[in-house]
């Protein structure tokens, strides 16, 4: 497999994982299918390991049953995949802009970072967050 094909495969894998866990509301299945130990988590509100991921996402989905994500950009470089995501919790929620970063090894996700900020009603530049 070429380096380009490996990056494309990592991007596909992370996108499928994210869609299954969040939009299809199957975080446990997503974790079983796509996460490998040791799984390191850098979000300060989430424990390491697949169980920490499942507990966090399941809790968000219980609190916000209409939670959904739209992935606006997928970037890949070597073993890293970045997602630029718009997360909404309710129909009229302006939502959150999220930069997700995943590290992939041997076809499995082994590490995660994220940066989250609220989507403002307007921006100084007039440009959208997405």
CA 121/CA 31 separation, integer angstroms: 34
**What is the model's pLDDT at position 61?**
97
Residue 4 pLDDT exceeds 90: no
Enter the pTM of the model.
0.94
Residue 66 pLDDT exceeds 80: yes
Residue 91 pLDDT exceeds 90: no
**Residue in 129, 25, 115 with CA at minimum distance from that of residue 68:** 25
- Residues 79-90 have pLDDT tens digits of 999 999 999 999
- Residues 92-128 have pLDDT tens digits of 999 999 999 999 999 999 999 999 999 999 999 999 9
Three-state SS for 93?
coil
- Residues 40-59 have pLDDT tens digits of 999 999 999 999 999 999 99
Nearby residues of 72 by Cβ (< 8 Å), 6 or more positions away: 84, 85, 86, 130
Domain 3-118 listed as CATH 3.40.50.620: no
Distances in Å between the Cα of 35 and the Cα atoms of 50, 82, 83, 84 are: 7, 16, 17, 20
CA 46/CA 11 separation, integer angstroms: 23
- Residues 17-43 have pLDDT tens digits of 999 999 999 999 999 999 999 999 999
């Amino acid at each position: 497999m070429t380096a380009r094909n490996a990056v494309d495969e990592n991007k596909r894998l992370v996108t499928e994982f994210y869609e299954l866990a969040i939009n299809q509301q199957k975080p446990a299945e997503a974790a079983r299918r796509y996460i490998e130990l040791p799984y390191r988590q850098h979000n300060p509100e989430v424990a390491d390991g697949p169980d920490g991921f499942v507990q966090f996402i399941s809790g968000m989905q219980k609190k916000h049953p209409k939670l959904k994500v739209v992935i606006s950009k997928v970037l890949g470089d070597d073993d890293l995949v970045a997602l630029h995501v718009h997360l909404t919790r309710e129909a009229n929620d302006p939502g959150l802009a999220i930069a997700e970063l995943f590290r992939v090894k041997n076809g499995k996700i082994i590490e995660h970072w994220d940066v989250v900020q609220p989507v403002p009603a307007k921006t100084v530049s007039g440009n959208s967050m997405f």
